[in-house]
Amino acid sequence: LEDCTEFGCANGCVQIDYGVDENADGDLDISEIDGTEYICHGLSGQDGANGTNGVDGEDGVDGSDCTVSEVDCLATLTCEDGTSVSWNLMGCMAEVPEGMVEVPASSFLYGNPTGSLYLPTFYIDKYPVTAGDYKACVDGGMCQYNGSTTSPYRTYDNGKDTHPINFLNWYDATAYCIFNGKRLPTEQEWEKAARGTDGRTYPWGEDAPDGTRSNYWESGDDYDDGTTPVGYFNGVNTLADGTSTADSPSPYGAYDMAGNVWEWTNSWSSSLEYRMLRGGSFGYDSNRLPTYYRDGRHPDNRNYGFAGFRCAQ
């Protein structure tokens, strides 16, 4: 860009848009851009002054040479004039962030019917955000809760700190993730994290859902018709009838990606009216549990008690 004065760049700049190419068309549409950065050009050199005895001075040297280096997933543009700018490389971390799982770069089978889609490496929370963690953010003055305070389904400040937070809108979820240095996953990221690369129907494979694997309406688990603690279906807990829960993570180790609560994503519906939700919930039957199933709600909707979220990075 030539005129970058509004970004503090006196000599032009480079605009860098970043995001996920959700429709795989080789370009970022407006709805796919997660953020934009501007990197200033160095200043041009000045002509040299006239020398003695009428000898012209040498031309000035053009702006300083610049190099880009990468250390622990932090890229830095450094110029000889001393200016520099750094940014985090998308989908790159020196190590897997605490409480998250890594989803490596690869193509995977997406949608129904399926098509092949490539995504770079990213990280996603191992569990949905809990009511206890969200309340801590509210108590710290960085988040807000304006959902139901009377519904028996609510988890916020209701003795269910280990259950997923619900009755939040898309903006509440986004604010929490941003405060924690993260973001909401796109639909494509969410589906890959739940589904892996083999196009499976459920996070655990092809076996039909039941009350030992997932929490959905009339599933028969001990928390039927309400939320379960996050990670409940880990093969360790015992149900009231003496059977054990089946260990039911996704191929990358993320739990609760089928049932419990719907999860907000950062993606829009094709009409750009709704933000998309994934995963099904305790309030819906098992038909909504497949990894490819999509639902959507207006981002302002805070009255949807079956929706929670998890963050990505």
This model's pTM is above 0.85:
no
Task: Write down the pLDDT at residue 261.
Answer: 97
Task: Write down the pLDDT at residue 292.
Answer: 98
Residues of the chain with pLDDT below 70 are: 5-8, 18, 24-26, 30, 34-38, 42-64, 72, 88-94
Task: Write down the pLDDT at residue 179.
Answer: 95
Task: Write down the pLDDT at residue 57.
Answer: 54
Task: Write down the pLDDT at residue 45.
Answer: 47
Task: Write down the pLDDT at residue 18.
Answer: 66
| Spatial CA neighbour of 44 closest among 9, 68, 75 | 9
Q: Residue 54 is which amino acid?
A: G
Query: From the centroid of its chain, how far is CA 26?
Result: 21
